[in-house]
Structure 1
């Protein structure tokens, strides 16, 4: 079983952009916008994770039913249990790969981007 990597954080309702002036020539009034690429990663995580959770739940239920002594009364049942176990293992690997890819990409993507204008905007872009 794998532990899920950290999820990309969605923009909070009162979150403000970073204010970091690197020197006297840096304009402290620089406008920032939330990175749309980062937002897509947040949406991808929020879309994929519930689906992966549902698949895991369904396979776990099928595995529990298959391993029950009341379900199988023939030797062929062991083969089906092994198949379901393999599907669960593959799903765990797939889940870990997908979520890790999204998490790693989010870690490498800046949350905020400076806009080309040096004045704050009345409406977020």
Structure 2
């Protein structure tokens, strides 16, 4: 079984941009915005996770029913149980790869980016 990687964190209500570390020579002061690319990763995670959970729940239910001795009364039933077990394994690997891909991309994407919007300009 795989453990889900860390999810990208959505912007919190009271979260503020990073403090400017530039000295007094920075003119105009830097303005920040929450990175739209990072926000897309948050949305992707929140969209994909429930769908993967729905698939996992459906396969777990089918697997539980297939393993029940009341479901199959013939040796051929074991073949179906093995097929469902393989589907569950493939789904677990797929889930891990999709969530890891989103998590890795979020780790490499800055949460805040500098912007020129709403920053003071020399000429109106």
**Common topology (TM > 0.5):** yes
Tell me the residue number matched to 1:3. Answer: 3
Tell me the residue number matched to 1:109. Answer: 109
SS, match of residue 113 in structure 1: strand
SS, match of residue 113 in structure 2: strand
The 2-side partners of 1:65 and 1:50 are apart by 23
Tell me the residue number matched to 1:95. Answer: 95
Q: What is the TM-score of this pair, normalised by structure 1? A: 0.90
Tell me the residue number matched to 2:21. Answer: 21
Q: Is the 8 A contact 1:30 1:117 kept in 2?
A: no
Instruction: Give 4+ residue runs of structure 1 displaced > 6 Å after superposition.
Output: none
The 1-side partners of 2:101 and 2:79 are apart by 33
Tell me the residue number matched to 1:55. Answer: 55
SS, match of residue 63 in structure 2: helix
Matched length = 120
After TM superposition, give the deviation of residue 20 of structure 1 in Å. 3.3
The answer for unaligned runs of 5 or more in structure 1 is: 121-125
After TM superposition, give the deviation of residue 71 of structure 1 in Å. 0.6
Q: Is the 8 A contact 1:5 1:100 kept in 2?
A: yes
After TM superposition, give the deviation of residue 27 of structure 1 in Å. 5.2
Q: What is the TM-score of this pair, normalised by structure 2? A: 0.90
Tell me the residue number matched to 1:77. Answer: 77
Tell me the residue number matched to 1:123. Answer: none
The 1-side partners of 2:51 and 2:117 are apart by 40
SS, match of residue 26 in structure 1: coil
**Alpha carbon RMSD of aligned pairs, Å?**
1.6
